[in-house]
Amino acid sequence: AQKVTQAQTEISVVEKEDVTLDCVYETRDTTYYLFWYKQPPSGELVFLIRRNSFDEQNEISGRYSWNFQKSTSSFNFTITASQVVDSAVYFCALRARDDKIIFGKGTRLHILP
Amino acid sequence: SQTIHQWPATLVQPVGSPLSLECTVEGTSNPNLYWYRQAAGRGLQLLFYSVGIGQISSEVPQNLSASRPQDRQFILSSKKLLLSDSGFYLCAWSASPEAFFGQGTRLTVV
């Protein structure tokens, strides 16, 4: 069975600090995809990034970076120099061969001015 | 480009009343379609997903059902709503590994 765990329920940091959101996943499939989504107060989920199981290369996009490590089944998300607009709920998700997309319970991030 | 439409945005229904939420996708063919529910302050729970017309997989046994009468139409239904059905319902489509979401329906059962 697939599972995604986001152990951090809620995080608060002061603006301009760096923050890392943790994600640990479980799957028996060798081919799978991992995602991060952002849910602002409006409620709509915004896709941020995808990683497939064969590509462990880390990725950086502006202030966002992602660290994928198969050895620890983790796909962590770091925001550098956080801004108030980064305040949202962030979800990690997993898709394996059966086409189900399973989400973690999310991490609510508060960026304090 | 692809778009997803989900309506209504908000809905208040009495206990025991029926429910029908509709989701349609434009600009793609044979997408995977998903219904999720998010209870207040909670994570996303996968309710149903479909890989083709008439093919529905149910993840959580409850008083909800889903149907896919057309390739790009996904409907979530209930014959009799319960208080516990309140929540934020999200429809999503996928033609690549990632899914894209509609704006959601906030359902309050009173």
Model confidence pLDDT, tens digit, residues B68-98: 999 999 999 999 999 999 999 999 999 989 9
**pLDDT at B15 > cutoff 80:** yes
Chain A closest CA to B8's CA: distance in Å?
14
Contact yes or no for B97 and A50 at CB 8 A: yes
Domain containing B102 equals 3-109
Across residues A16-34, what is the average pLDDT?
96
Number of domains, chain B: 1
> Which value, in Å, is the radius of gyration of the alpha carbons in chain A?
14
pLDDT for position B42: 77
Please give the full DSSP string across A39-71, using - where no structure is assigned. Answer: E-TT---EEEEEEETT----EEETTEEEEEEGG
Alpha-carbon gap: B46 to the closest alpha carbon of chain A (Å): 7
Residues 80-99 of A with CB under 8 A from B: 91, 95, 99
Q: Return phi, psi of residue A73, to 5°.
A: 50, 50
Separation of CA A23 from chain center: 6
Task: Read off the CATH number of the domain in which A18 is found.
Answer: 2.60.40.10
Tokens matching residue A94: 């997993």
Question: Residues B24, B30, B31, B32: is their CA dihedral positive or negative?
Answer: positive
Number of domains observed in the structure of chain A:
1
Q: Write out the residue range of the structural domain in which residue A63 sits.
A: 3-112
Determine the straight-line distance between the first and last CA of chain B, rounded to whole angstroms.
38
B72 vs B29: CA distance, rounded Å: 7
Q: Which residues of A are less than 8 Å from B34 in CB distance? A: 101
Q: If you search the block for the tokens 């997989």, which residue do you land on?
A: B57
Q: How far is A14 from chain B (nearest CA, A)?
A: 22
Condensed to tens digits (0 to 9), the pLDDT of residues B17-63 reads: 999 999 999 999 999 999 999 987 778 999 999 999 989 999 886 78
The CATH number covering residue B16 comes to 2.60.40.10
Does residue A1 belong to the interface with chain B, where contact is any CB pair within 8 Å? no
Determine whether B47 is exposed, middle or buried from the number of CB atoms within 10 Å of its CB (0-12, 13-18, 19+): buried
Contact list, B36 vs chain A (CB under 8 Å): 103
Q: Do A45 and B32 touch (CB under 8 A)?
A: no
Tell me if chain B has a CB within 8 Å of the CB of A105.
Answer: yes
